[in-house]
Amino acid sequence: MIEDVKIAPKARRAGGRAARVAVRSAPLDEALRPVRAGLEGGQYSPLSAASVERIHQAALQALEEIGLANAPQSGIEVMTKAGAILGDDGRLRFPRALVEDMLAKAARGITLYGRDPKYDLQLSGSRVHYGTAGAAVHVVDVDTGEYRESTLKDLHDAARLVQHLDNVHFFQRICVARDILDNYEMDLNTIYAAAAGTRKHIGTSFSDPSHVAGCFELLHDIAGGEEAWRARPFMSNSNCFVVPPMKFAEESCVSMEACIRAGMPVLLLSAGQAGATSPAPIASTIVQAVAECLAGVVYVNAIAPGHPAIFGTWPFVSDLRTGAMSGGSAEQALLTAGCAQMHRFYGLPGGAAAGIADSKLPDMQAGWEQAISNTLAGLSGLNMVYESVGMHASLLGFCFESLTLGDDILGQALRCVRGIDVTEDSVSIEVIRETCLEGPGHYLGSDQTLKLMQTEYIYPELGNRMSPKEWNESGRPRLMDGAKKRTADILASAPCQIDPALDRAIRAKYPIRFS
C-alpha cells in the first residue's frame, strides 16, 4: 500500500515546484491575500490601563486649567457657544463636561473614500492603513547621494508610484512643488497632480484660507459635481490647527472651518516635538498632544456634530543632544504607539507618523528605522500610519526608490499585524499524522502547503532570499538596482487616473503646470 504512493524524489521535487509556481502565478482575490488594508492591529500596548487613564485625566486638566491661545474669532464664537470659556488672558478653556459631551458626538467608524471604491479605507477599531505624507523639500538621488529641490513632477510621479504599490493604502502630499512660486497655483496643482496620479484616498493642506473655495471648485470638477463630491469626498484636509504648545494656528483653523462646511474630512494634526515644543518625557508629550487634539474634537463638533475627523496626535522626538528632530528613533516608535493606544481608548479614528528615517539614503540605518516604527505602529492598531515610506533626513528628503522598497517593508509589517491564525484546521495534527506515518516525511508538496503558500505567507517583491550560490549564479543582484528598475518600470507605464476629456477640460480652466 505504501509502495503504491511512493514517488521518486527527483520527480516529486519537480512536480512540487511546478505546482508551487502555478499557485504563486494565479491572482488572489483581495480577501484571500495574506496582507491587505484594514487588518486589525492592537496586539501591542506600551501603556497600562492605569497609564492611559492618567494621561486622559492630565489632558482634561490641561484643557480646563491652561487652555489654548490664539483661536480665530470665528472659532471663539462657535466654541464659547458650545461651552468653552474665554479668559481675560485670551485663552480658551474647556470644561471637562464640554469635552466629554463632544467626545460623545464625535464620528466613529468613518470611511475615507478613494475615487475607486476598492480603495475605500474603513477607519474603525484598530484597523491599520499605511500611507505617505511629509511634504519634503528635497528629493534624494540614490546614484549621487545629492539632495535636489523637489518639483511638481516629483509629486505627480510619487502619486503614480503609490497607485501601483499594494501595501501603500493612501497618498498624502509627500513633497512640495518648489518650482511653483504662486501659492494658490501650488495648492491647485498639488491637488490635481495627486488626483491624476492615484485613485486612492488623498490628503492635502491649504497654504491660505482664501485658496479653499477655488480648490473646492477643482475638486467638484474632478468628482463630477458638488453632490458627487459630498457623497464620496476622496480627499481629506491635513490640518495643523495647533501650534504647540497649546496655541491655535489661526489661518489653519479658518481653512479647517471652510473644509468642514464643504464636506471634507479633516485630520486634526498636533505635531509637537518632545523637548522643544512639547515636554521631554514621552508620557507628557502624549498628554499635550491628546489635550490639543481633544480641543480639536470640540472645535469640529461645535461646528458640525459627527463630522469625519481623524484624531491626529502626531508628536515627534528630539535628539536632546542637538535639538534636531529624530523621526527614526526608538522613542519615536514608542511615542507613536502610545498615541495609537489613546485613539483606541477614545474609540476615535486616529493617525500618527511612523516610518521616518533620519538616514539620508535608503541604507541599513533607514531599513531599521522604517521597519521598527512601522511595525510598532501597526501592532498598536493605528488607523492611519502617515509618512510610512520614502522619507529621509527626518522628513527633509524624499526618495523614489525608498518608496518602492518601503512597499516590501510594509508588507512584512502588515504580516506581523495579521498575526498567527489559530483555527481548528491550522492546529489539526491530521496532516502531521499523514505525512509522518503514510507520506514522504515532508510537507513540500502537500495540499495544505500548496493551499496556504499564497494566503498564509507574503513574499517580498525586491527582498532577496537566494542562497549565496544562486545569488552568485544570478550575477549578484543588488537591492538598489532592483528598486531602481521596479520604480522605473512602474513610472514608464502608469497611466493618468483622470479621464482624457476631463483632463483637457481641467487644463483649459486651471493653471495646471505638469504634463
Round to whole Å and give the CA distance between 442 and 251.
Answer: 66
**Amino acid code (one letter) for 19:** A
Beta bridge partners of 235: 202
Instruction: Check residue 29 and give its pLDDT.
Output: 78
Which residues, 6 or more positions from 254, have their beta carbon under 8 angstroms from its beta carbon?
72, 74, 209
Q: What is the pLDDT of residue 151?
A: 98
pLDDT for position 58? 98
Q: What pLDDT was estimated at residue 21?
A: 59
Question: What residue spans of 310-363 are helical by DSSP H?
Answer: 330-346
- CB hemisphere CA count around 353 (13 angstroms): 32
Residue corresponding to grid cell 505602529: 377
Residues with Cβ < 8 Å from 449, sequence gap 6 or more?
443
**Collapsing DSSP states into helix, strand and coil, what is residue 440?**
coil
In order of start, what are the domains of the chain with their CATH numbers? 20-421+456-515 (3.20.20.480)
Asked if residues 455 and 33 have their Cβ atoms less than 8 Å apart, the reply is yes
Low-confidence ranges of the chain (pLDDT < 70): 1-27
Residue 439: predicted pLDDT: 86
Give the model's pLDDT for residue 28: 74
Q: What is the pLDDT of residue 445?
A: 83
**Cis-peptide, bond into residue 279, ω within 30° of zero:** no
Residue whose C-alpha cell reads 521616518 in the numeric block: 356
Quick one: pLDDT at residue 451? 87
pTM of the model: 0.93
Phi then psi dihedrals of residue 233, to 5 deg: -70, 110
Kindly tell me the burial class for residue 134, based on how many C-beta atoms sit within 10 Å of its own C-beta (0-12, 13-18, 19 or more). buried
Strands 273-274 and 266-270, how do they pair?
Answer: unpaired
Note the pLDDT tens digit of each residue in 398-409: 999 999 999 999
Q: What is the DSSP string of 138-207?
A: EEE-TTT--EEE--HHHHHHHHHHHHT-TT--EEE--B--TT--SHHHHHHHHHHHHHHH-SSEEEE--S
